[in-house]
Amino acid sequence: MPMPPHPPPAAALPLAGVTVVALEQAVAAPFATRQLADLGARVVKVERPGDGDFARAYDGVVHGQSSHFVWLNRGKESIALDLKDGREGGDREVLDRLLARADVFVQNLAPGAAERLGLGAEELTARHPRLIACGISGYGTTGPYRDKKAYDLLVQCETGLPSITGGPEGPAKAGIAVADIAAGMYAFTGVLTALYERELTGQGGRFEVSMLEALGEWMGFPYYWAQYGGVPPVRSGARHATIAPYGPFPAGDGGQVFLAVQNQREWGVLCRDVLARPELEHDPRYAANPDRLAHRDELDAEIAAAFSDATADEVLAKLDRAGIANAMLRDMAGFAGHPQLAARDRWREVDSPGGPLRALLPPVTVPGREPAMGPIPSVDQHGAAIRAELGL
């Protein structure tokens, strides 16, 4: 059943009137600018002539379109430009005229590429004092890694994330592009901060975000654990590395139930009211969290045995009644049909060249405000209109 479009008036959105020019590709910068578009900004996406953003070709599973691309590029205008075309009235002049009218410029080109094109942040902000210029890179613009190519999994490795992810048998990457997403989130908040600062000072400015430093910020807990505890957190699969019981347990029907005990009071409640094994509460093997960690395999077996004659739904209901935090391990179909998202009306319909798509609302909910969530563009879909608007 198609979702209601819920079209918002553009003027009701906080970034209405803000123009963003994005020389972007892949994930990090498109994620940042898509969020700006959802808030009402006009985002002009500059793509390569022909194939456009190379993320368009990652796959074709979404009505012939890439799953990454449709996720990251709704609500944008696309123009294809050959930035080496320096003729009068040529593509480079189109970009220069766009930048003269823009409030924000975002780029995540290969190291040094923007500077070679005369689009470095320092040069642009000198030419356009009210412009906010954001550069996203793998490792930053200084230091020995500044010219090193960076992709999400490689940056995950440089931060040590796979070393603490996975199970005892070996490391594993995160299942989503966390380095790209982290960088995109900090670029997004950086742009918002710079826009606010410009309101106060009248001046634009420049800032950079590196994937290494963005994901490094998210590695704070394991860093402190290892730096001051002397050993890194163990790879514990789907179980919490330092708290027990906290992780997956099989129910009698094969469903996987996750539960989390955070303190001694909850541990007692779990033993008495859920497991019906009150003697476990003061068993020396499980008396405190360090004891439970040391005997985790034995404890997990006790809990699995208690759940073996119940369905996953029955176990979840019992945990809810006892006030023990819990969750069902869902697959992607389970997420898409999540009853909480349906009850909160979180799905919308977004148009695309391949047809309408189901899309999740952005997570920041403001009463009475609907994000823009415009259509996904084809390559150069808006090129002629933008050129005409610029007098070219």
Assess whether 295 carries a catalytic annotation.
no
Question: Containing domain of residue 100, as a range?
Answer: 10-219+338-389
Q: Is there a single domain that holds both residue 268 and residue 132?
A: no
Q: Is the pLDDT of residue 98 over 90?
A: yes
Find, among 96, 66, 77, 2, the residue nearest to 37 by Cα: 77
Confidence class for position 11, pLDDT limits 50, 70, 90: low
Q: Is there a single domain that holds both residue 181 and residue 296?
A: no
Q: Is there a single domain that holds both residue 262 and residue 314?
A: yes
Q: Is there a single domain that holds both residue 313 and residue 346?
A: no
Q: Is there a single domain that holds both residue 295 and residue 156?
A: no
CATH of the domain at 262: 3.30.1540.10
Find, among 235, 108, 112, 216, the residue nearest to 157 by Cα: 216
> In whole angstroms, what is the distance from residue 102 CA to residue 105 CA?
7
Look up residue 10 and give its two tokens: 């553009």
Q: Domain ends where: 290, 310, 328?
A: 328
Average pLDDT over residues 54-64: 94
Q: Is the pLDDT of residue 5 over 50?
A: no
Q: Is the pLDDT of residue 2 over 80?
A: no
Whether residue 18 lies inside any domain: the answer is yes
Q: Domain ends where: 328, 348, 372?
A: 328
Q: Is the pLDDT of residue 343 over 70?
A: yes
Whether residue 50 lies inside any domain: the answer is yes
Average pLDDT over residues 317-328: 95
Predicted confidence at residue 3, as pLDDT, reads 42
pLDDT tens across 110-129, in order? 999 999 999 999 999 999 99
DSSP secondary structure string for all residues of 89-111: TSHHHHHHHHHHH-SEEEE-PST
Q: Is there a single domain that holds both residue 104 and residue 18?
A: yes
Q: Is there a single domain that holds both residue 77 and residue 201?
A: yes
What's the structural domain count of the chain? 2
Q: Is there a single domain that holds both residue 73 and residue 130?
A: yes
pLDDT, mean over the chain:
93
Q: Is there a single domain that holds both residue 181 and residue 261?
A: no
Question: For residue 387, which amino acid is it?
Answer: R
Catalytic pick among 6, 63, 240, 282: 240
Q: Is there a single domain that holds both residue 149 and residue 129?
A: yes
Q: Is there a single domain that holds both residue 104 and residue 142?
A: yes
Ranges of H-type helices in 204-309: 211-218, 220-229, 264-269, 289-294, 296-307
pTM of the predicted model as reported, rounded to 2 decimal places: 0.89
Q: Is there a single domain that holds both residue 166 and residue 304?
A: no
